[in-house]
Amino acid sequence: MANLTNFPSTDDLNRRLAQQVVSELQKGIDTKGKASLVVSGGKTPLGLFKLLSQQPLAWEKVTITLADERWVDRSDDSSNEKLVRENLLQEHAATAHFVSLKNESLTPFEGASGIEKSLKEIAMPFDVVILGMGDDGHTASLFPGAENLFPALDMKSKHLCMGMTPLTAPLDRLTLTLPALLNSRHIFLHLVGENKRVVYHQAQEGDNVNEMPVRAVIHQTQTPVDVFWSA
C-alpha cells in the first residue's frame, strides 16, 4: 500500500526524505553491521543527493546502487552513475561502496548477467529503495509497452536486472526487476512537480501495468511505499 505525503516545499521534502533514509540505513547498520541503498537517476534526486552526502553516518558500511542505468559511457552526461558519483558519493558519503549497473558489454541485454553477479554481493533485502516516476508512468526503467516489461515485472523471476528498450524515451537501459525492487524493507517514491501529482493519481486509479508500470509498485502489498510529493 502506498501512503502519500504532500510537502509544502521541495526543501522540506528533501530534508524529511534524507532524515528517513539515514534513519533506515542506521537501523540496517545497527542490526546487520551494514546497509544498502538503491537510488534512481533523473533530475528529481539531485537536491536529495547533496543533502544525503552531508549526513554523518558510517557510510563505509553502506552499499549504494541504482534502480536503473542508461547504457551509455560512465562519463556521459546521461549516465546515472555519473550523477551519483558527482552528487551523492561526496563529502561524508564518499566512503560508501558503489555497485555499478554498467559494464563493457555492447548492450544491457548482454551486460545483464555480469551485473547480476555484482548485485548478488549485496545483502538482500535492501534497506531502502528510492524510486522516481516519469510522466509516462514508468519507474526505474520499467517502461510502458516495452518488449521486456512483463519478464521484468514477473514476481516469480529469479533475475535481479534486465535490459530494456523504452518506447517512450531514448537510450537502452538496464533496470532492476520488480522482484528485486520490492525486496526492500522500505520504498520511497520521490515526486516533484504538479504534473507528477496528476500522473500519480492516474496511476493510482487504474490497474493496467503495461500502460503505467509504476502501478506494479504502488498497488502491491509486500513492501511499504511512502510517496513524498512537493510542487
- State the Cα angle at 3 between 70 and 83, rounded to 5°: 25
Q: Rule CB under 6 A: is residue 177 a binding residue for ligand 6PG?
A: no
Quick one: 46 or 123, whose CB is closer to ligand 6PG?
Answer: 46
Amino acid code (one letter) for 36: S
* Residue among 20, 42, 50, 165 that touches ligand 6PG (CB under 6 A): 42
Which 114-133 residues touch ligand 6PG, going by CB under 6 A? 132-133
Query: According to the binding rule CB under 6 A, does residue 225 interact with ligand 6PG?
Result: no
Rg (C-alpha) for the chain, rounded Å, is 16
Residues in region 79-98 near ligand 6PG by CB under 6 A = 80
Q: Should residue 146 be labelled a site residue for ligand 6PG when binding is judged by CB under 6 A? A: no
Task: Give me the helices (H) in 33-165, please.
Answer: 46-53, 80-87, 108-120, 149-153
**Nearer of residues 133 and 161 to ligand 6PG, judged by Cβ:** 133
**Of residues 13, 36, 41, 48, which one binds ligand 6PG by CB under 6 A?**
41
By CB under 6 A, the count of residues binding ligand 6PG is 15
Give the 3-state secondary structure of residue 225: strand
Query: Which residue has the CB atom at the shortest distance from ligand 6PG?
Result: 132
How many other CB atoms sit within 10 Å of the CB of residue 38?
Answer: 26
Nearer to ligand 6PG, 28 or 166 (CB): 166
Using an 8 Å Cβ cutoff, are 153 and 174 in contact? no
Using the rule CB under 6 A, which residue among 68, 81, 127, 172 binds ligand 6PG? 68
Q: For residue 157, give the C-alpha cell.
A: 523471476
What does each C-alpha distance from 33 to 28, 186, 201, 216 come to in angstroms?
A: 7, 18, 39, 31
Distance CA 186, CA 206 (A): 23
Residues binding ligand 6PG (CB under 6 A): 40-44, 67-68, 70, 80, 132-134, 138-140
